[in-house]
Amino acid sequence: MDGMKDFPADFSQPFTMSLNYIKGVLKATVVLPKTKEVEILIQRLATAWKTENLSDIQIKIKKERIKELNFGLSVFYWGAQVAIVQNLCPQLVQTVIGKSRQNDFNFLLPFGCVYPFDHVKNWGRYLLVYVLQSYSILKLIFLYLGAQCLLVTLCSQLSTEFALLREDIKNAVPMPNRDKRTDEDMKVDYSMTIEAMVKKHQELIKLAHMLNDIFNRMVFIDLCFFAMIICFFAILLALSHDAVNKFTYTVSVFALLTLVYLFCYYCEMLKQESGGIAEAAYENPWYNGGTHYQKTIRFIIMRAQRPCYVTSLNYVPITLNTFTKVVSTTWSYFSLMMTMYGDT
């Protein structure tokens, strides 16, 4: 325990910030060149967004999914804002209070850095450096949050489209072969025919592949850093004796865990909804249709048995199991670090 008390906590915070900085730079490197592809994906998803011929069940699905997404993003956004304020403001408040009580109180900055000049010589330099540090970390964090929120939103919208398509396929009216269709059969709205649904299914699969192509490298970077960053925040929380710092690190840990969970949850939802197309096709009364209709249903089932995923480097599918693995890995790192420094 004596070794733990001597643990260099001042090292953990700069190291955590450095990891966040490196992670942000790497993510920008792989995401920014894909800006045009992201724009095309959003436009095609907007074109595919179903707004007509919605059943009551489909309207309910859309409302529930949008409400769920807004709630999740709001929790994450405001949690992140609280974490930002808690990381940037206490040092300034402590400095103002400390200086008002004693002139020799040291100036405190959000992050420990080395500058080629005396950055705490006077209030002017101190405030200038404080603003510079705050601006830099805010720019990095908002870039970080923006990419994650975009991925979560696109996964949510795409999975919603798959869910709406499931209802359409399940309730599609079986049609006879073309040579046996009556005038009544020909009056059916094309958008409600199985042929239109197959085209819609193909388009959604293409959009899911585009989504994965754009973000799979970013996902790999996230997974490489999530466990380490959360681990170091947890170490700071465990070894801190200051109530303000404990609250700051607690909020930071929960904000990161919320982000990981949202990210994995919506990737899991994309997998479930895209794979659920097969079940919806099987529930359709396909046996009442012609041979062409039955073959079409069979091909839909065969294709939907390969769900759409967001992957890490086109290799590891991201699901809720990924969240479990991240938490498990974080706990392993945390236990190892605490044991190592507890024995020193």
Closest to 338 in 3D by CA, of 4, 16, 19: 4
- DSSP letters along 58-120, please? HHHHHHHHHHHHHHHHHHHHHHHHHHHHHHHSHHHHHHHHHHHH-TTPPP--SS----SS-TT
How many domains, in total, are found in the chain?
1
Rounded to whole angstroms, the maximal C-alpha distance in the chain is 95
Q: What share of the chain is helix, strand, coil (3-state, %, to 5)?
A: 80, 0, 20
When comparing pLDDT for 99 and 160, which is higher?
160
Who's near 205: CB < 8 A, 6+ residues apart? 274, 303, 308
Does residue 4 carry a pLDDT above 50?
A: no
Mean pLDDT over residues 294-299, rounded? 91
Two tokens, residue 308: 């759409």
pTM for the whole thing? Answer: 0.82
Interval 158-177: pLDDT, tens: 999 999 999 999 988 888 77
Two tokens, residue 320: 């809720």
Instruction: Flag the least confident range among 111-125, 142-156, 218-232, 265-279.
Output: 111-125
Burial 128-151 (b: 16+ CB within 10 A, else e): ebbeebbeebeebbebbbebbbbb
Q: Give the orientation angle of helix 194-239 with respect to helix 35-48, to 10 degrees.
A: 130
Count CB-CB contacts under 10 A for residue 331: 14
Q: What angle do CA 311, 233, 331 make, to 5 degrees?
A: 60
Region of 242 please: left (phi>0), alpha (psi -120 to 50) or beta.
beta
Q: Name the residue range of residue 64's domain.
A: 2-342
Who's near 219: CB < 8 A, 6+ residues apart? 151, 310, 311, 312, 313, 318
Residue 297 C-beta-side C-alpha neighbours within 13 Å: 26
| Predicted pLDDT at 110 | 77
Q: For residue 249, what pLDDT band results from cuts at 50, 70 and 90?
A: confident
Q: For residue 186, what pLDDT band results from cuts at 50, 70 and 90?
A: low
Residue 65's beta-bridge partner residues?
Answer: none
How far does Cα 234 stand from its chain's mean position? 21
